[in-house]
Amino acid sequence: MSREQLHLTVAAIVQFQGKFLLVEEIDKQTGKLVLNQPAGHVEQDEDLLQAVKRELYEETGLELEPSAWLGISQLQAANGHRYVRLNFIFEPTNLPKYYQPQDADILALHWFSAEQLLQAALPLRSRLVSDAIQSYIDGTRLPLMLIQPTR
């Protein structure tokens, strides 16, 4: 019996003035353009909060602090891999005038209201994106203190 690989990932829900920040990227499995949360794998020597802040900066150019934890999502992807995603909430009161992706894989940044997202021309990368945004809209907020620091 082969042991399947489990991927530990983090993702950011960035909400500012009623809109959500999504990144436009190419899905490496399908080659198609998709919308995604700023997200990625946790690297070897970082804790979860460091990972989500790094991913947010790399994919958007924004340096923000999370205000809450949204929870854990799981996905069995079409490629056979299992993903566990921890979602963190960022609710800035203001943003810098200029910011841009630091990662060349990010093609553009988009701000969408929940209603606009339903009408977006590009598909979401996975159901994890819409599930996380819906959880945020439903009022899910968990304290960051539930995430124990690395020891």
Residue numbers of the chain with a pLDDT score lower than 50: 1-2
pLDDT in tens, 41-75: 999 989 999 999 999 999 999 999 999 999 999 98
Instruction: Give dist(CA 34, CA 111) in Å, integer.
Output: 14
Kindly report the pTM of this predicted structure.
0.91
pLDDT reported for residue 148: 77
**Cα 111 to the center of its chain, rounded Å:** 14
Which ranges of the chain would DSSP assign to H, the alpha helix? Answer: 48-60, 114-118, 127-137
Count of positions (residues) in the chain = 151
- Ranges of each domain in the chain: 6-146
Q: How high is the pLDDT of residue 151?
A: 66
Cβ-contact 117, 42 below 8 angstroms: no
Architecture per CATH, 6-146: Alpha-Beta Complex (3.90)
Q: What is the pLDDT of residues 68-81, one digit of tens each?
A: 999 999 988 777 88
What integer pLDDT is reported at residue 119 of this predicted model? 86
